[in-house]
Amino acid sequence: MRRQSYQSGHAPKCLVIVDDSAEWDRAVRYAARWAVRGGGGVVMLRLIETGEQTQQWLGVADLMRAEAHDAANEVLDRATALAGEFGAAAPDRVIREGDPTEQILETIEADTDIAMLVLAANSGAEGPGPLVVQLTKTIGAFPIPMLIVPGDLSEIDIDALS
């Protein structure tokens, strides 16, 4: 499906992953400032990985899913507040369950105004983070540009770049 980000009646959106990393705020900061400067929007995605669920434990799985959605909304509330500090319009909020790469691609497919994916990378010795590693393996076939914000970038540096 073709991107419509810059066609008449559309505005570009930046998809930002709000995860459990210590650097998620870097990605949100970049995305919010990008949206304000470019007149676009932000889509915040929170991924919930689901394990195998057997019929026997279905009631427990439903309770765990509800708790995971509540926790996801709390994280998205914090991310929305952070984006608002930079003057960004209220972001679209998406919570998806399942394989992270599949869910990111489905989110992009569902919104043809998404023009860029922003992730934050861990700056520690353990590597950039599992999601960044997983997605960069598919970068050659990815449907939109991917921007990775280094976790060591200061707020001043992010502001200068976005």
Q: How many domains does the chain have?
A: 1
Q: 141 pLDDT band (50/70/90 cuts)?
A: confident
Domain assignment present for 130: yes
| Per-residue pLDDT tens over the stretch 108-134 | 999 999 999 999 988 776 667 777 777
Q: Which domain holds residue 57?
A: 16-161
Q: pLDDT for 23-51, tens place per residue?
A: 899 999 999 999 999 999 999 999 997 76
> What global pTM score does this model have?
0.87
CA 115 to chain centre: 13
- Above 80 in pLDDT, residue 107? yes
CATH number of the domain within which 116 lies: 3.40.50.620
- Please state, in angstroms and as integers, the Cα–Cα distance from residue 41 to each residue in 83, 126, 127, 151, following that order: 11, 32, 30, 23
Domain contains 67 = yes
Q: Say how many Å lie between the first and final Cα of the chain, rounded.
A: 27
Task: Classify residue 10: in a domain, yes or no.
Answer: no
Residue 88 covered by a domain: yes
3-state helix, strand, coil in the chain (%, to 5): 45, 20, 35
- 129 lies in some domain: yes
Q: Which residues contact 53 (CB under 8 A, 6 or more apart)?
A: 61
pLDDT tens for 46-101 read: 999 776 554 556 677 778 888 999 999 999 999 999 999 988 899 999 999 999 99
